[in-house]
Structure 1
Amino acid sequence: MSGRLVDSYDLVAFDLDGVVYLIDRPIPGAVEAISALHAEGTALAYATNNASRRAADVAGLLTGMGVPAQPKEVLTSAGAAAAMLADELPAGSRVLVVGAEALRAEVREAGLVPVSTVDEQPVAVVQGYGPEVGWQVLAEASLAVRAGARWYATNTDKTLPSPRGPLPGNGSLVAVLRTALGREPDVVVGKPEPALFTTAAKLAGAQRPLVVGDRLDTDIEGAVRAGMDSLLVLTGVSGPAELLAAPASRRPTHVAADLAGLFAAEESVRVPASGEHGGWRLTAEGVLEGEGDPVAALRLAVGATWDGLAPAALRAGSPAAQAVLADWNLE
């Protein structure tokens, strides 16, 4: 039997929304899992595409939930975008900011001047998530880009997980400008670009980091691009149906229901599984038989679908399997 999953890595880099919390509510079991890692001395990092909070604010939110996080452990797409702007633009350059005050503060701290209108002649536009973003600032950004400003997006997550269900994310706001301008942003800073993860590993001096996320299109693809192993947890955006159809660029190394999977035996959470796994068996014809943990059934099923079997071709060979496939919207 293999050791615990977490014992194979020297850094655990967490996404936040959908992994640790939903907006501002901790996901059940997340605080206990991360606190246990802290107690064991495991190196941790938090890499989030959400540009509406600064690193210190994120650390404060986590600490308030019972996770003793430090600002230096937090990497945000807002901070990364501001650092990139500072590298590419002369000090004092005007940057039109679309997003929350946190993004404006990061731009200002980077030695640039945040502005709000095209009349202030910005040389760049940086766009990040903000719950108050509306038509007026999007219109100013559109005019600025048309006038020649370089367009940076902190991230392109289409949705943001919440306790009430997925909400429009920064990618949906980026899509407004994409439609108006008829083109893509010049630069996308956050995941799935690998910079947040590679920076976290560099700061920690890690040689074997593990990325933990809830989205295949950002967290897991970002880990693949960074050459890092990953754990997909099913507490946020991506679910079984998306995982079954995932292309090679978005396939995690491990899958678990939640962060408790970090403490499971590594071989028990690795994907794809084969043969008999967790009380289930999948035949060569794609018939799922047996009963047990639904996530164990999912690990078996991805082995078949990633090898070319259409997800819709999976069939139930037991009542428990029928219930699982129905939950995956396949029956």
Structure 2
Amino acid sequence: MPDVLVIGGATEAMLARMSEKFTVHKWAEHDMDWLEENAEKITHVVTNGHDGVRPEIMAALPNLQMISCYGVGYDAIDTTEAVRRGIMVTHTPGVLNDEVATTAVMLVLACYRELLRDDAYVRSGEWEKKGSAPLTRSLENQTIGILGLGRIGQAIATKLAPWNPTTVYHSRTKKDVPYTYYDNLEAMAADSDILICITPGGAETRKIVNAEVLAALGPKGTLINVARGSVVDETALIDALQSGKLGWAGLDVFEQEPKVPQALRDLPNTVLLPHVGSATVETRTAMANLTVENLLQHLETGTVATPVPE
């Protein structure tokens, strides 16, 4: 049987299906010395969008044919090198759109309606002592700027539609959608009440949400990030939240996951999640199935169901 290297773990169901057609090797149980001895027989890799394939691992696999990524994001995989070497790379778009969009909406509502503050108010007994909690904000009729209007970005826009927003967006290209396009992110932020980040990670978008963009969003603005931690300048974000230059932030991703700066954890105007945008049983099962289906289809026919655009 051909050999597959699994980086970053896999579910028991995934391992069982792969084991029917492959000899499975778990990278967590090996090191570069083992890889040097076994590299030639490995033809496939299964990984995820966070771990990807480190350059030294990819370089050590002379017969690598295919990388199947468990996740829609794949910025931790060097697709330029993969294209150069003729290595097929796949990901799992589509099946997680709605779940990540739901997480974005949840963060928006949690920030606007001060969910964590009011939950603590009840648990602490302050409601009984002091009476009603301070008022919050309405989500109705807000201007929502979406950074990255791909499949998930459009799903977010659809899920937020019942709150009657004005939806605007910034992306690499203008799209055929009923929303207003901005070719300048800072200008869009200045016109928005909420900025939702759902753009791919990577060098092109690294810290694209910088101090200037955050200042444009302003003291009454809310930043939501369900993209990659690298998209937002975390130092600038902390400064903006501490100084009042930015109002609120709902974050599912961070620059150095799982390490989250203490300053962010201490701030009362943040809602923080441990990168769980797609983390439901149903969605993760669908992602796992598609990851393995891409792998098995490539083995069988040399084709795949969901290649990355490159």
In the superposition, the TM-score normalised over structure 2's length comes to 0.38
In the superposition, the TM-score normalised over structure 1's length comes to 0.36
